[in-house]
Structure 1
């Protein structure tokens, strides 16, 4: 089996980072590029993207599958069914320190490109070639380049969004 025939690594990396966040007491967030295939409350979509809290406390019936992320969540007190195709997830990260991973932006035809408009991930360079998981980017805390120092509790982010660092 060659790389073109294998399944995407994206759902496996999402599950791994979700587990890492929950094991470390962090809140996992996913950034999603919204289109007609994404079932989310449209009133919360900004610049074609939505950020969702997928923590145990914020969701019900969470399923991190190979094709879809599905769960129920409350938005302004109203329960909503959420369904996100895994290929529309552009990042998963911890709210408290910004550490996580960004993925190439999905587009028709399999090539990756930067999203239009102002995006928290618009500084991610486009991945070349037709492999949707060709390159992975790691989110890091811009203040110290990594996570918080040992012994210091994580601080909620303030100011600019986390910076991106390419992991090869």
Structure 2
């Protein structure tokens, strides 16, 4: 029997630590071709995601897949990638966290299968998704 990876548990622990301390959790992820990452945000084969509550919606840090929705250049995008692609998680303000040793991801077919299963299972419930913006002018109200 294969032991489960400790990586997702450590990611969740550092994420919660950042939130409790008021820090901004940043997630370093290896850019893999199977994931639909914004190409202009990839640098040196990796992408850094701000996963603070105010930056992402519907964040799910699962044992196999991490998924969330975020805005890139004003355009909402659903992001999903295998937990194995995470290089590290750290707090922006104090630059402390955990980095993981670089290892090869499971076979390309397995990664693709996990991402496709995520899309089919719709880890994000339709009731949790953001509602489309109403067309027309925005209204501001004075609150006292």
Using the size of structure 2 for normalisation, the TM-score is 0.70
Tell me how large the CA RMSD over aligned residues is: 1.6
1:100 aligned residue: 97
Gaps of 5+ in 2: 108-144
1:32 aligned residue: 29
Check if 1:12 corresponds to 2:9: yes
- Change in Cα spacing, 1:109 to 1:12, as seen in structure 2 (3 Å) is closer
- Change in Cα spacing, 1:25 to 1:101, as seen in structure 2 (3 Å) is same
1:50 aligned residue: 47
* Kept in 2: contact 1:88–1:105 (CA 8 A): no
Q: Following superposition of structure 1 onto structure 2, how do residues 59-70 of structure 1 map, counting pairs within 5 Å?
A: 59-70=56-67
Moved over 6 A (4+): none
Q: Secondary structure at the residue paired with 1:40?
A: coil
- Change in Cα spacing, 1:106 to 1:78, as seen in structure 2 (3 Å) is same
Check if 1:21 corresponds to 2:18: yes
CA shift, 1:109, in A, is: 7.0
* Kept in 2: contact 1:29–1:52 (CA 8 A): yes
- Change in Cα spacing, 1:43 to 1:13, as seen in structure 2 (3 Å) is same
* Kept in 2: contact 1:44–1:50 (CA 8 A): yes
Higher helix share: 2
Q: Secondary structure at the residue paired with 1:69?
A: strand
Higher Cα Rg, which structure: 2
* Kept in 2: contact 1:15–1:64 (CA 8 A): yes
